[in-house]
Amino acid sequence: MKVYLSKAIRIKGKEWSIACDSTNSKYYSLVFYSHAHSDHIPRKLPATDIISSLETKSLLKNFTSNFSEGRFFEDYKIGETSFKQQSAGHIIGSTALKIKSSEGTLIYTGDVSIRNKGFIEPFKPDKCDTLIIESTFGLSQYEFPKYEQVIKETQESIAENLDNNTPVVLMGYALGKAQMLYHAFSHLSENVILHGANYKINSLLKSEGIKGAVDCVSYQHAKEKGLMEKEGNWILFAPLKSGRDDFYSYLRNKFGAVLYAFSGWCISSNYKYRMNVDYSVPISDHADFSELIEICESCNPDRIYTIYGSNIAFAAELRRRGFNANPLSKQTLLDSYF
């Protein structure tokens, strides 16, 4: 198999070729979309065979044009080569792709997490010959605290604010992080409000029957009905932005709301001050450094390609640990033959 980068992550066998997480609409004979984040999908789908989970397919229907021109598959086979998905543990519907052929076994993780977050099945590493792995948090300083402990401590903090009639704003990306936050914190208040972007995704999940939605009212509805003035113990789930943003400044000044930011980057000690928030909580839908190492050790591949984030530094660290690892970039053409 060949692995290379040419407007998409390309994997080429003797009789087939597949493009993974291509953000352009160029025609490929076969494509794989690991999940529906905007940096992993095109605005216009190529009219070709597409491998994705059912959840990602449903989201793509709403996020892309010419959806009907794509032909979707959960599993795929070309001759003796099989293409099978497994949960990547990243966000709703995220999957990794395992390719098995006479040339060997390759796993493409996309974005990945092996942490148990309560409602998304984590990625389960398996032995392979070649591993393509993300390295968003591929530096040793990115070690996240135990997920369960962080959630427990944050629940206590939020509950204390609500008990004092102080409303809270929980900020995270509308697809992915938001569903983690709903699962962990929405039960703490009877007054659950969603910002427009969150409400749109939440309505989409409900309409498509996808797990992860929450019962709520929209911010617009809450504002029109005066709910936020009547009730002091509301939770607003909203996108992650700086607390200096006009909308968040308004919520602080008008209602005395406190802001919680949720991100893996919160591991940095100055993140709270850079974002001008009251609380910064280091939880992520990506694997941290130790978890990335654990995936590599469990897969124990003959060759590793690192992608995204700190791919050069992470590849160097893997080589130091005895792996045959290289960063995948536009400047390199890396061949892997079995």
What's the chain look like in SS3? CEEEECCCEEEECCCCEEEECCCCCCCCCEEECCCCCHHHCCCECCCCEEECCHHHHHHHHHHCECHHHCEEECCEEECCEEEEEEECCCCCCCEEEEEEECCEEEEECCCCCCCCCCCCCCCCCCCCCEEEEECCCCCCCCCCCCHHHHHHHHHHHHHHHHHCCCCEEEECCCCCHHHHHHHHHHHHCCCEEECHHHHHHHHHHHHHCCCCCCCCEEHHHHHHCCHHHHCCCCEEEECCCCCCCHHHHHHHHHHCCEEEEECHHHHCCCHHHHHCCCEEECCCCCCCHHHHHHHHHHHCCCEEEEECCCHHHHHHHHHHCCCCEEECCCCCEEECCC
What integer pLDDT is reported at residue 269 of this predicted model?
86
User: At residue 333, does pLDDT exceed 90?
Assistant: no
Domain edges within the chain:
2-141+286-335, 147-281
Greater pLDDT, 170 or 15:
170
Q: Any idea which fold 147-281 has?
A: Rossmann fold (3.40.50)
> For the segment 255-306, what is each residue's pLDDT rounded down to a tens digit?
999 999 999 999 998 999 999 999 999 999 999 999 999 999 999 999 999 9
Which CATH class for the 2-141+286-335 domain? alpha beta
Do 2-141+286-335 and 147-281 fold alike per CATH?
no
> For the segment 31-47, what is each residue's pLDDT rounded down to a tens digit?
999 999 999 999 998 88
What integer pLDDT is reported at residue 338 of this predicted model?
29
What integer pLDDT is reported at residue 27 of this predicted model?
83
